Amino acid sequence: MIADYGAFLFASTGWITQFAVAFAGFAAILRFSVFRPSLGRWRISRRGWRTREVPAWFLKLWLAERESAALQERRVLLSGCGLRIDPRFYLACRRMSVFVSVTISVLAWGFHETGVVPLPGVWKGILAGAGVAGAVLFDGAALNALRHYRTDRIRRELIAVSSQLLYYTGSRLHLHGKLLRCLPLTRIIRSEMSLMLNEWYHDPDRALRIFKERLGTDEAYGFTESIRSLRLHESEEVYELLREMVREYKAKIDLAREGRKETASYVLFVLAGIPILYTFQIFLYPWVQEAARLFDALNP
pLDDT-derived band at 40, boundaries 50, 70, 90: very low
Distance, in Å, from the CA atom of 8 to the CA atom of 15, rounded to the nearest integer, reads 11
pLDDT value at position 39?
38
- AA letter at 238: V
DSSP string, 200-247: TTT-HHHHHHHHHHHH-SHHHHHHHHHHHHHHH---HHHHHHHHHHHH
State yes or no: pLDDT of 42 exceeds 70.
no
Distance, in Å, from the CA atom of 186 to the CA atom of 164, rounded to the nearest integer, reads 11
State yes or no: pLDDT of 121 exceeds 60.
no
State yes or no: pLDDT of 129 exceeds 70.
no
Distance, in Å, from the CA atom of 151 to the CA atom of 168, rounded to the nearest integer, reads 26
Q: What are 4-25's pLDDT values in tens digits?
A: 544 554 455 555 666 566 666 6
Distance, in Å, from the CA atom of 234 to the CA atom of 228, rounded to the nearest integer, reads 10
Q: What are 183-213's pLDDT values in tens digits?
A: 999 988 998 899 999 989 888 899 999 998 8
Distance, in Å, from the CA atom of 49 to the CA atom of 43, rounded to the nearest integer, reads 10
pLDDT value at position 22?
65
User: How many other C-beta atoms are found inside a 10 Å radius of the C-beta of residue 157?
Assistant: 19
Computed over every residue of the chain, the mean pLDDT equals 76
Cα distances (Å, whole numbers) of residue 244 to 46, 223, 226, 254: 47, 11, 11, 15
Distance, in Å, from the CA atom of 245 to the CA atom of 222, rounded to the nearest integer, reads 8
pLDDT-derived band at 263, boundaries 50, 70, 90: confident
262: Cβ–Cβ under 8 A, 6 or more apart, which residues?
none
User: How many other C-beta atoms are found inside a 10 Å radius of the C-beta of residue 203?
Assistant: 11
| Domain spans of the chain, in order of start | 1-52, 54-137, 148-253
Distance, in Å, from the CA atom of 281 to the CA atom of 273, rounded to the nearest integer, reads 12
pTM equals 0.65
For residues 256-266, average pLDDT: 80
pLDDT value at position 287?
72
Distance, in Å, from the CA atom of 33 to the CA atom of 131, rounded to the nearest integer, reads 43
